[in-house]
């Protein structure tokens, strides 16, 4: 399996990436695109199915863009992710001698997400994007990624929208009112925040929908109506009305409390995020004098390490996340944490970073890049913990750190996104003695 989700097949040694394949399948596929060193294809007939195949649980599997790997038995998904990390480190990072730990899978590979964003579509449709399409939606009757009450909420909201004939937004024409439905849950607290995002201020039935959902779900923590008049598809808002309860939920992660608003970035799999915290704490080892957390978001790792450090500093580009990180520090009675809203590419200019002995970084999918790696090498912390959600950008970044004198001590893959090809990885590096 490749990072991206396709099966890797070979015809006389020539690599062909095949949609919906499984390791060990023997299949007939039609070529869709042929390049110099590889081709892409779609399956026509499975001649001999792989033993790793299983019956997809969800009736929407296939057209729905939410999951690509439900046809793989979960143990096979874990093996494939382990192999993807290993391959990436070897081929893109030049690291073939590293000690890889076995991937950490969750207790339950279903119902794991704490936040989902669904889209409305004309005709009272509500669901996730059709695979590979930005302009089509699969009308979902169920979904196994978030807790079971999500499917109930989807049905209730869809019925309400159809009964009141409320126009849904068309991303092609930019006409229509309803854009997104966001459901956020505190998995440790049971709290529930529901938000409807509209294109304009004219949502006469907003209060009625809030009352209906509050009646059906007495545990509802908050209902928010948010407005996003921008043309882009991202869930963004220019203003909001709180029509029930409060506009945030509280979540707990390994003893720490976090306050999460509608748009606050937070690790989407709370149970596995707790295990990430455990791994990061274990890899951090002895008490550090100063921990620098780059791309800190709402402070998850900085706050988790604060009790064993002299002080911690977090750097993150989104000001709202930095405000949330400061609030979370106060909420947890943590007084040795400082947070700065800044671009990590200029982190050397942030005051007080010079004496860092433990550096943690958790960049977005694109990775941190050579410039940031160079700055880390100049800062020369004793230990680095690199948390990555993309092994293909992790590997070249590690190559830079190794060239600058760091040694990879441990690699821990961890599955935060069962039923998809995504894989998280935590790497511990140490600076060789000067
Ligand atoms: C994968 S998230 C990590 C969040 C955090 N570690 C956590 O666990 O909640 C990546 C974060 O990097 C931030 N980010 C992206 N580019 C950045 C940059 N150039 N400088 C600083 N932060 C950036 C994003 O806003 C996002 O919060």
Mean pLDDT, the chain, integer: 95
Is 24 part of a structural domain of the chain? Answer: yes
Task: Identify whether residues 19 and 93 lie together within a single domain.
Answer: no
Cα(415)–Cα(421) distance, integer angstroms: 9
pLDDT of residue 51: 97
CATH of the domain at 192: 2.40.50.1070
Ligand 1, atom 15, lies closest to the CA of: 364
Cβ–ligand 1 distance for 344 under 6 Å, the answer yes
Cα–Cα distance list, 216 to 146, 156, 208, 210, 433 (Å): 18, 9, 12, 10, 62
Mean predicted confidence (pLDDT) in 144-154: 95
Token pair, residue 167, equals 């126009």
Cβ–ligand 1 distance for 300 under 6 Å, the answer yes
Task: Identify whether residues 193 and 142 lie together within a single domain.
Answer: yes
User: Taking the model in full, what pTM does it have?
Assistant: 0.94
pLDDT of residue 432: 85
Whether 216 and 209 have beta carbons less than 8 Å apart is answered as: no
pLDDT of residue 205: 97
Q: Residue 127 belongs to what domain range?
A: 115-253
pLDDT of residue 434: 61
- pLDDT, tens digit, 9 for 90 and up, residues 232-269: 777 677 788 999 999 999 999 999 999 998 888 899 99
Cβ–ligand 1 distance for 415 under 6 Å, the answer no
Task: Identify whether residues 382 and 413 lie together within a single domain.
Answer: yes
pLDDT of residue 63: 95
Among 95-99, 106-110, 170-174, 215-219, the minimum mean pLDDT is found in 95-99
Per cent of the chain over pLDDT 70 is 99
Whether 192 and 149 have beta carbons less than 8 Å apart is answered as: yes
Ligand 1, atom 12, lies closest to the CA of: 295
Ligand 1, atom 11, lies closest to the CA of: 295
Mean predicted confidence (pLDDT) in 320-326: 93
Report how far ligand 1's centroid is from the alpha carbon of 57 (Å): 33
Task: Identify whether residues 220 and 274 lie together within a single domain.
Answer: no
Long-range pairs for 234-237: beta carbons < 8 A, 24 or more residues apart = 235/117, 235/180, 235/182, 235/197, 235/263, 236/263, 237/197, 237/262, 237/263
Mean predicted confidence (pLDDT) in 266-290: 95
Cβ–ligand 1 distance for 429 under 6 Å, the answer no
Report how far ligand 1's centroid is from the alpha carbon of 56 (Å): 33
Task: Identify whether residues 126 and 221 lie together within a single domain.
Answer: yes
Cβ–ligand 1 distance for 296 under 6 Å, the answer yes
Is residue 389 among the annotated active site residues?
A: yes
- pLDDT, tens digit, 9 for 90 and up, residues 173-203: 999 999 999 999 999 999 999 999 999 999 9
Is 263 part of a structural domain of the chain? Answer: no
Report how far ligand 1's centroid is from the alpha carbon of 317 (Å): 7
- The answer for residues whose C-beta is within 8 angstroms of residue 106's C-beta and 6 or more apart is 112, 269, 271, 272, 415, 418
Is 178 part of a structural domain of the chain? Answer: yes
Residue 190 backbone dihedrals phi, psi, to 5 degrees:
80, 5
- For the chain, how many structural domains are there in total? 3
Task: Identify whether residues 410 and 385 lie together within a single domain.
Answer: yes
């Amino acid at each position: 399996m490749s990072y991206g989700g396709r099966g890797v097949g070979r015809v006389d040694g020539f690599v062909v990436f095949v949609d919906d394949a499984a390791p060990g399948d023997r299949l007939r596929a039609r070529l869709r695109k042929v390049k110099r060193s590889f081709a892409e294809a779609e399956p026509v007939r499975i001649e001999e199915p792989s033993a790793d195949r299983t019956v997809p649980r969800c009736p929407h599997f296939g057209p729905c863009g939410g999951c690509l790997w439900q046809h793989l038995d979960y143990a096979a998904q874990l093996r494939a992710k382990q192999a993807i990390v290993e391959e990436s480190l070897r081929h893109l990072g030049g690291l073939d001698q590293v000690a890889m730990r076995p991937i950490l899978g969750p207790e339950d590979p279903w119902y794991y997400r704490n936040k989902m964003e669904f889209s409305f579509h004309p005709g009272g449709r509500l669901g996730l994007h059709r695979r590979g399409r930005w302009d089509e939606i699969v009308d979902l009757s169920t979904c196994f990624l978030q807790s079971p009450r999500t499917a109930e909420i989807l049905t209730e909201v869809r019925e309400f929208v159809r009964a009141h004939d409320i126009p849904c937004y068309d991303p092609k024409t930019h006409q229509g009112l309803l854009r997104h439905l966001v459901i956020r849950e505190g998995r440790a607290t049971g709290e529930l925040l529901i938000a409807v995002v509209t294109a304009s201020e004219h949502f006469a039935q907003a209060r009625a929908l809030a009352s209906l959902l509050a009646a059906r779900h007495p545990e509802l923590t908050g209902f928010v109506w948010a407005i996003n008049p921008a043309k882009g598809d991202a869930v963004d808002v220019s203003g909001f009305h709180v029509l029930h309860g409060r506009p945030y939920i509280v979540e707990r992660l390994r003893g720490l409390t976090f306050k999460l608003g509608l748009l606050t970035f937070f690790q989407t799999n709370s149970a596995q995020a707790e295990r990430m915290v455990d791994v990061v704490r274990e890899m951090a080892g002895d008490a550090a004098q100063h921990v620098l957390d780059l791309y800190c978001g709402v402070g998850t790792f900085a706050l988790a390490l604060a009790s064993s450090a002299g002080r911690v500093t977090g750097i993150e580009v989104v000001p709202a996340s930095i405000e949330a990180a400061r609030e979370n520090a106060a909420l947890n009675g943590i007084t040795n944490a400082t947070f700065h809203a800044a671009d990590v590419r200029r982190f050397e200019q942030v005051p007080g970073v010079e004496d860092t002995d433990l550096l943690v970084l958790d960049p977005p999918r694109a990775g941190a890049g050579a410039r940031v790696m160079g700055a880390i090498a100049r800062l020369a912390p004793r230990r680095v913990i690199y948390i990555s959600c993309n092994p293909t950008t992790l590997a070249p970044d590690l190559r830079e750190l190794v060239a600058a004198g760091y040694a990879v001590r441990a690699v821990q893959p961890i599955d935060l996104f069962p039923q998809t090809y995504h894989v998280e990885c935590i790497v511990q590096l140490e600076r060789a003695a000067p």
